[in-house]
C-alpha cells in the first residue's frame, strides 16, 4: 500500500528542493557513477571480461535476475545518459536547452538503423513493442474480406490486437496454432504458406517466442509472404538486443522492439521498422507536433512531446552492446542457456517446454518444475536464494521461465540449478 503524502512529508520533499535535490541525493548518485572500464582482451579474455561486463550494471552482485525476456536492467552507460539528460532538462526547461536535444533524437534513429542494418528513413522511435505492434494493426487499411494470419504464440499486442480490430473493421484473423515441442522450421513455413490465400494481407509472428523461446524461421516466412504480395510484421521484443538481428537479410515489412528488454536501455522507448515498400500502406495513428526529421518519421512520428533523455539512453545502450560485441552477447546468453538446460535435464520431474535444439531456441527456457507450485517456488527462489525468474500461469506450458542474458554468469546458473534441486527434494 502506498503511503499518502502527508503535509509534513510534502514539506520535507519540498524543502529538499525538487529534482535538483533528487539528483544530488547520494542514494541516486551512487546508482550511476561513471562505469568502470571493460576488461582488456574482449570476450576472448573469458571470465575477467564478463565480470567487467557485469560491473556495467548496478544490480548488486549477489542478486541473480534471469528474466531478460520481461525486463532487463539499463546498463550504466544508458543510466548515466538518462540521468544526465533528465537532469539537464529539469534544470533548464527553456526551449533553447530543449532544442539541443532534437538532433540527439535523430542520432538515436541513426544508431537504431545501424544496429538493425537498415536506413534511418525506415525507423520510428516508439514507446515500446506494444505500441509498435499496434501502430501497424491500427494503421493498415484493412476491411471486410481481408485476412490476417497470426501465430497463436504471439504477445497480446500482436494477437488480441488483431482479433479486436478484426471485430471493429470486419477483416478476419486466421490463427496458426503453436506446437510443442518446436516441430521444426519447415513445419511453420509450410503452415503459414498453406494459410495464405488471395485475401491475405499480412503475416504476424514473433521472431523468438516469449512463451517458451521457440525460434521462428523469420527470413523464410518473410520471403514466402513477399513472393505472394503479403506484408510481414515480426515482433522482435524477445530477439532485438539478444540475437544479432539483421533486417537487411530478414527483409520484413515491420519489425518491433523495446529498449528496456534485451538491449538494456531505459524504460518507455521502443522501435518500429517500416520498410520503404510498406510505408505507403500505413496510416499514422497519431497526428501531433514534434515529428522526426527524416524519411517516414517526418509524417508518421508526430507523437507530441517526448522524453528525449530516454532516447539518448537507448543510443548509449546500443553503443554499449556494440562495444561488448553483438555476436559475443548472443553466444554468452546461448552458452548460459545450454548450461541451464543440461542441468535441468538431470533434475527429477522437470518437464521441458523449450526445444533442446540450439537452432530452434536461443536464451528463453520454460519448464514445469515437477509437482511444485510454480508461484511458491518463484517466491522462495527470490526471497531465500536471491534469484529472480518468472512464472508461466494457466494451462498452456505452465511453470517457470528463465531468460539469462550477457550480464549473468555460469555461477548464477549453477546457483539456480542447486536451489531447484533442493526444492524438488524437500518441497517449497
Ligand atoms: C513477444 C512480445 N511482444 C511484445 C511485448 C510487449 O513489450 P512491451 O511491454 O515492452 O511493450 C512483449 C513483452 O513481454 C513480448 O514478450
Are 259 and 266 within 8 A, CB to CB?
A: yes
User: For residue 34, what pLDDT is reported?
Assistant: 61
Q: Is the pLDDT of residue 394 over 50?
A: yes
H or E, element range at 351: strand 350-352
Pocket of ligand 1 (CB under 6 A): 70, 128-130, 155, 157, 206, 210, 235, 237-238, 258
Q: Closest ligand 1 atom, CA of 131? A: 11
- Alpha-carbon gap, residue 14 to 302, rounded angstroms: 35
- Report how far residue 379's alpha carbon sits from residue 381's, in angstroms, rounded to the nearest whole number: 5
Spacing, Cα 249 to ligand 1 middle (Å): 23
Q: Are 229 and 238 in contact (CB under 8 A)?
A: no
Beta strands in 25-83 (DSSP E): 64-65
Q: Which residues are 365's β-sheet partners?
A: 402
pLDDT category of residue 36 using cuts at 50, 70 and 90 = confident
- What 3-state class would DSSP assign to 58? coil
Grid look-up 498452456 returns 396
Percent of the chain whose predicted confidence (pLDDT) is above 70: 92
pTM (2 decimals)? 0.93
**Distances from the Cα of 211 to the Cα of 14, 176, 362, 401, angstroms:** 45, 15, 12, 8
192 has pLDDT over 50: yes
The mean of the pLDDT values for the chain is 93
The closest-lying atom of ligand 1 relative to the alpha carbon of residue 132 is 11
Alpha carbon nearest to ligand 1 atom 13, residue: 70
The best mutation among 125, 153, 155 to test binding of ligand 1, ranked by most ligand atoms within 8 Å of the C-beta, falls on 155
Cβ pair 354, 365 in contact under 8 A:
yes
Amino acid at each position: 500500500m502506498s503511503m499518502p503524502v502527508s503535509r509534513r512529508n510534502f514539506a520535507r520533499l519540498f524543502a529538499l528542493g525538487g529534482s535538483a535535490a533528487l539528483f544530488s541525493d547520494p542514494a541516486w548518485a551512487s546508482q550511476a557513477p561513471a562505469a568502470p572500464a571493460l576488461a582488456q582482451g574482449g570476450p576472448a579474455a573469458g571470465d575477467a571480461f564478463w565480470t567487467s561486463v557485469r560491473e556495467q550494471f548496478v544490480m548488486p552482485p549477489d542478486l541473480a535476475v534471469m528474466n531478460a525476456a520481461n525486463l532487463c536492467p539499463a546498463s550504466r552507460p544508458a543510466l548515466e545518459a538518462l540521468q544526465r539528460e533528465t537532469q539537464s532538462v529539469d534544470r533548464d526547461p527553456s526551449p533553447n536547452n530543449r532544442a539541443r536535444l532534437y538532433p540527439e533524437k535523430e542520432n538515436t534513429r541513426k544508431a537504431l538503423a545501424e544496429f538493425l542494418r537498415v536506413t534511418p528513413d525506415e525507423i520510428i522511435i516508439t514507446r515500446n513493442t506494444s505500441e509498435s505492434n499496434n501502430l501497424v494493426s491500427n494503421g493498415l487499411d484493412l476491411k471486410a474480406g481481408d485476412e490476417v494470419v497470426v501465430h497463436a504464440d504471439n504477445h497480446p499486442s500482436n494477437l488480441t490486437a488483431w482479433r479486436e480490430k478484426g471485430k471493429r473493421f470486419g477483416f478476419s484473423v486466421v490463427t496458426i496454432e503453436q506446437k510443442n515441442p518446436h516441430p521444426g522450421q519447415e513445419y511453420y513455413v509450410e503452415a503459414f504458406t498453406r494459410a495464405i490465400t488471395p485475401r491475405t494481407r499480412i503475416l504476424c509472428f514473433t521472431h523468438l517466442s516469449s512463451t517458451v523461446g521457440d525460434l521462428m524461421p523469420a527470413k523464410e516466412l518473410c520471403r514466402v509472404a513477399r513472393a505472394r504480395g503479403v506484408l510481414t510484421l515480426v515482433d522482435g521484443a524477445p530477439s532485438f538486443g539478444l540475437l544479432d538481428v539483421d533486417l537487411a537479410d530478414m527483409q520484413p515489412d515491420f519489425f518491433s522492439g523495446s529498449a528496456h528488454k534485451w538491449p538494456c536501455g531505459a524504460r518507455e522507448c521502443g522501435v518500429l521498422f517500416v520498410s520503404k515498400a510498406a510505408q505507403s500502406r500505413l496510416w499514422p495513428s497519431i497526428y501531433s507536433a514534434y515529428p522526426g526529421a527524416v524519411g517516414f518519421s517526418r509524417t508518421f512520428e508526430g507523437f507530441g512531446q517526448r522524453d528525449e533523455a530516454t532516447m539518448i539512453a537507448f543510443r548509449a545502450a546500443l553503443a554499449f552492446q556494440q562495444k561488448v560485441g553483438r555476436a559475443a552477447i548472443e553466444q554468452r546468453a546461448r552458452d548460459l542457456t545450454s548450461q541451464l538446460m543440461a542441468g535441468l535435464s538431470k533434475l527429477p520431474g522437470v518437464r521441458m517446454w523449450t526445444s533442446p535444439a540450439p537452432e530452434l531456441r536461443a536464451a528463453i527456457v520454460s519448464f514445469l518444475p515437477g509437482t511444485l507450485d510454480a508461484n511458491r517456488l518463484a517466491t522462495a527462489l527470490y526471497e531465500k536464494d536471491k534469484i529472480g525468474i518468472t512464472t508461466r500461469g494457466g494451462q498452456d506450458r505452465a511453470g517457470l521461465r528463465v531468460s539469462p542474458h550477457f550480464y549473468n554468469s555460469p555461477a548464477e546458473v549453477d546457483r539456480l540449478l542447486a536451489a531447484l534441486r533442493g526444492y524438488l527434494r524437500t518441497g517449497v
